[in-house]
């Protein structure tokens, strides 16, 4: 199965007050955590607000960057920008949020195994204590639906339409962590070393 990953990194991180991808946890930038765990999966990082802050760091690690000029219209436009940059031969793509960085490569492997074993599955999500998390893996045949979303629709609408073909893989707490505020960062740094 030929894979790719799209990292949504276009937002302003306004509640954090600083670009969350450049924050350090465990002596390593969040961006570096994400890209090292996705390696060797070809990765597209979607930039928006202040793209110059992370473009060089991203490309130095072998990832491709694309700019989403419509990033202020929300996450859907960033995913669509990443999808437009995908090679035609990709079978499935991971959608990775910019504050999802504690996942382990073994989780990604189990998600791919789940997609391969259940041929009818279109979506694989990690789950921790009954809460869905990220990253999410989408089979190619569902991707066009994201490209066709209207102004009043969200990515969740696509996911909900295909719940019968959505499978879940058990994960640890890192699949459900949100890094939005300085308080989140403080809590995450404590959790990282525990």
Per-residue pLDDT of 174-192, as tens digits, reads 999 989 899 999 999 999 9
pLDDT at 78 over 70: yes
The answer to whether 132 touches 151, Cβ cutoff 8 Å, is: no
Structure token digits, residue 41: 């999966």
- Rounded Cα distance between 39 and 9, Å, is 17
- Judged against a pLDDT cut of 70, whether residue 135 lies above it is answered with yes
Query: Which residues make beta-bridge pairs with 180?
Result: none
| pLDDT value for 187 | 93
- pLDDT value, residue 159: 96
- Options 3.50.50.60, 3.40.50.1820, 3.40.50.150, 3.90.550.10; CATH for 3-193 is 3.90.550.10
Residue 5 CB neighbours (<10 A): 24
At 163-177, the pLDDT tens digits run 999 999 999 999 999
Q: What stretches of the chain show up as alpha helix (H) in DSSP?
A: 30-38, 55-60, 75-84, 105-117, 140-147, 155-161, 182-193
Exposed/middle/buried for residue 27 (C-beta within 10 Å: 0-12, 13-18, 19+)? exposed
Cβ partners under 8 Å of residue 68, min gap 6: 10, 46, 47, 48, 77, 78, 81
């Amino acid at each position: 199965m030929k894979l790719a990953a799209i990292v949504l990194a276009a937002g302003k991180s306004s509640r954090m007050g600083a670009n969350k991808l450049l924050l350090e946890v465990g002596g390593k930038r969040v961006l570096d955590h994400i890209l090292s765990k996705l390696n060797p999966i070809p990765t597209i990082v979607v930039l928006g607000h202040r793209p110059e802050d992370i473009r060089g760091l991203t490309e130095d690690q072998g990832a491709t960057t694309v700019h989403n000029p419509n990033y202020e219209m929300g996450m859907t436009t960033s995913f669509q920008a990443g999808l437009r940059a995908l090679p035609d031969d990709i079978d499935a793509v991971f959608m990775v949020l910019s504050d999802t960085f504690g996942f382990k490569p073994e989780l990604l492997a189990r998600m791919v195994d789940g997609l391969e074993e259940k041929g009818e599955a279109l979506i694989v999500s990690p789950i921790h204590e009954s809460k869905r998390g990220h990253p999410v893996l989408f089979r190619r045949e569902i991707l066009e639906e994201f490209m066709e979303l209207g102004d009043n629709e969200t990515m969740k609408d696509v996911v909900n339409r295909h719940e019968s073909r959505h499978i879940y893989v058990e994960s640890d707490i890192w699949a459900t962590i949100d890094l939005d505020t300085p308080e989140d960062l403080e809590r995450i740094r404590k959790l990282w070393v525990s």
